[in-house]
Amino acid sequence: MQIKKHLLFLTVLLVFCTSAAFAQAPAPQNELAKYIQENYTKREVMIPMRDGVKLFTAIYEPKDKAQKYPILLNRTPYTVAPYGADKFKGSLGPSALYAREGYIFAYQDVRGKTMSGGEFMDVRPDIDNKTPKDIDESTDAYDTIDWLVKNVANNNGRVGTYGISYPGFYTSAGSIDSHPALKACSPQAPIGDWFKGDDMHHNGALFLAQNYSFFRFFGQYRPTPNFDFSHLKDWNGRDTEDGYDYFRSLGGLRETADSYEKGLGVRIKFWDDMMAHPTYDEYWKARNILPKLKNIKCATMTVGGWYDNEDLYGALQTYQHIERQNPGIFNVLVVGPWDHGGWSRNDGDWLGTAYFGEKTGKYYRENLELPFFNHFLKDKGDISRLKEVNLFDTGAHQWKAFDEYNPTNGTDTALYLTANGGLTFSTDALKAAGGYDEYVSDPLKPVPYTQKVTLNYPRDFMTEDQRFVAGRPDMLVYQTEPLPDDVTVAGDIKPYLFVSSSGTDADFVVKLIDVFPDEYDFPETGNKLPNGEPERIKPPENSAWTVFQPGGYQMLLRGEPMPARFRNSFEKPEPLSANQPAKLEYTMPGIAHTFKKGHRIMIQIQSTWFPLVARNPQKFMPNYKQATAADFQKATNRIYHGGKTGSMIVLPIMKK
């Protein structure tokens, strides 16, 4: 199979998983599609914006006119397909529950995408709208809602908006200066800040694997509405299914950027713009929607997944910024054990080899999401289960309610790194003689982020058993003794490290891991096997993990890179002084997880995580994104422990 087929598959998968048009419930059954065609009409309209640009919108209306219906609006940069007034979607709304519930559904191609007019801009900055013709995503949403309530018959004057990932951004951006008819919105995995934590970068480190093929499809210039890209060239790559090998062969980021032109015959404008902005400058600050989330009047439910490596930051930060900047509104947060968009389409009892004890996705769709929209748009629906902050504890396997994210009944507690790979809560670690552990990091032989041999981006790597890398010499491992009692962590994770490098720059990736006891096995089903042994719950057959031993499972909970050059400022990077200790502290997106009695807490530290994270050349460059393979160099990196340069990981531990 040629590589272009794999890349096409990856592109389709990325679009499938990020588009709110598709990231819904599992593929609808024929009876649902039949129900929609029998009970809804469809029309396609061009809605005018205040500057004269018209946006393509597909509207599905119930044939039954005995009652008035609220409108659910989804704005997407992907597609509102299928096109044609006689072509119907197989499911309507956030999940398969909504078509029978009865809503008017509106799907819109955002400005400059597919069938809509105007010029597209990635994460269009929100502006002050000082003149009547100034536009941004909040004004486009406002004008769309205004047109819908005035021109769609039989609506009840209430509108709700929703979307996952990029459409999640359009949802939160569209709630700024809310239209009076907008009564409920649900930004789900919304983009918040593309430099500090979402999609493109984490702490300024470029996330390569999940974006490279996505922009092959998404980043191309569209000269006319509905432009056909099928004639464009694809990569002329080698036969391989090995993404690790493929991305390594591309070289540095400069060579990676050039590969678009070599393969496609075109430059990807956004990719080139991204390469030209390696620091947190005005280009990225303007695209940070978080401080602009003001004058929101509608009820808001932000949704995220603990194992969403793309936009968990956006979900956590969107909720917190709306809470601070819009006092008094109904504003809640839901975070469950899901990958990117998994709450809308999966049962949610498994992710890879991690088992969570209940069908959390089904629970969310039936007991949290549908009641939310019904309550605020239809004056029905019991929202008593929807608390201020709703977090699924991925170790205790239960939903927990809090009054705020980073709850006040949690205590920031230091977990100290010690000699010989130890990890302890005891402050005696600070009294120990100072020392360090070191490893040689080689960008040409980077630490892989998954053991799967694939060009795909496997979302369940976020729960993957880390034993496959734990013995590598280019990383460090620290762990506690078996815990004497349960330890519940809820909130953000804060590494405070002292590091050094023989080079002048390095990434430091911190991974937090739950180590299961050697005797652990999956729960019993209650049935017996033919040999009389108890039958155990097993990962789904389509899990792709054909060989897995749960005993000793090193379950990844969170991993996050931090480039040393940004240790003091994202705006003004600084080189390391070779072999001189430097303080490196940052905040990782949080968890809600109970480390059970008898488990161990493990920390792994490394300097590459490939090809998820683009490689740091390990020498300071004004623009590391212009590095070539010739710039890569080995470096001896150190992590210090004990004494005045003692490293620690601070965890928010809940009081018993």
Delimit the domains of the chain by residue range.
3-192+289-402, 412-481+501-566+596-638
pTM confidence score: 0.93
Alpha-carbon span 362 to 355, nearest angstrom: 15
CATH H-level superfamily of 3-192+289-402: Alpha/Beta hydrolase fold, catalytic domain (3.40.50.1820)
> In terms of Cα–Cα distance, which of 76, 84, 74 is closest to 104?
74
Exposed/middle/buried for 329, CB within 10 Å: 0-12, 13-18, 19+? middle
Token pair recorded at residue 102: 């009865």
Alpha-carbon span 39 to 283, nearest angstrom: 47
Alpha-carbon span 166 to 192, nearest angstrom: 10
Residue 209 CA neighbour count, 13 Å, CB half = 25
User: To which H or E segment does residue 206 belong?
Assistant: strand 205-206
Alpha-carbon span 203 to 509, nearest angstrom: 11
In the block, which residue shows the tokens 């017996």?
A: 528
Q: What is the pLDDT of residue 555?
A: 98
Going by the DSSP 8-state scheme, the letter that residue 596 receives in this structure is -
What's the distance, CA 542 to chain centroid? 23
Q: What is the pLDDT of residue 18?
A: 39
Alpha-carbon span 609 to 450, nearest angstrom: 9
Q: What is the pLDDT of residue 456?
A: 75
Residues 306, 333 contacting (CB under 8 angstroms): no
**Could you state, in chain order, the average pLDDT of each consecutive group of 10 residues for the chain (656 residues)?**
35 37 46 96 98 98 97 97 96 97 98 95 93 96 98 98 98 98 98 97 96 82 54 47 90 92 83 96 98 98 97 98 98 98 96 95 98 98 96 98 91 96 94 94 97 86 95 97 98 98 98 97 92 88 69 97 98 98 98 98 98 97 96 98 96 93
Alpha-carbon span 188 to 304, nearest angstrom: 6
Mapped onto helix, strand or coil, the DSSP state of residue 187 is: strand
Q: What is the pLDDT of residue 224?
A: 56
Residue 614 CA neighbour count, 13 Å, CB half = 30
Residues 71, 148 contacting (CB under 8 angstroms): yes
Kindly report the backbone phi and psi dihedral angles of residue 410, in degrees, each rounded to the nearest multiple of 5, phi listed first.
-100, 150
Mapped onto helix, strand or coil, the DSSP state of residue 250 is: helix
Q: What is the pLDDT of residue 61?
A: 98
Q: Is 297 left (phi over 0), alpha (psi -120 to 50) or beta?
A: alpha
What's the distance, CA 11 to chain centroid? 17
Q: Report the DSSP pairing between strands 524-528 and 582-585.
A: unpaired
In the block, which residue shows the tokens 């500057």?
A: 51
Q: CATH assignment of 412-481+501-566+596-638, given 3.40.50.720, 1.10.760.10, 3.30.420.40, 2.60.120.260?
A: 2.60.120.260
Alpha-carbon span 112 to 165, nearest angstrom: 18
User: To which H or E segment does residue 329 belong?
Assistant: none
In the block, which residue shows the tokens 């793309």?
A: 310
Burial 186-198 (b: 16+ CB within 10 A, else e): bbbbbbbbbbbbb
Token pair recorded at residue 182: 């907008």
Alpha-carbon span 367 to 652, nearest angstrom: 28
> In terms of Cα–Cα distance, which of 156, 173, 175 is closest to 329?
175
What's the distance, CA 223 to chain centroid? 30
* DSSP H helices in 122-242: 137-151, 166-174, 209-212, 214-218
Q: Is 328 left (phi over 0), alpha (psi -120 to 50) or beta?
A: left
Residue 628: count of CB within 10 angstroms of its CB: 14
Alpha-carbon span 276 to 445, nearest angstrom: 27
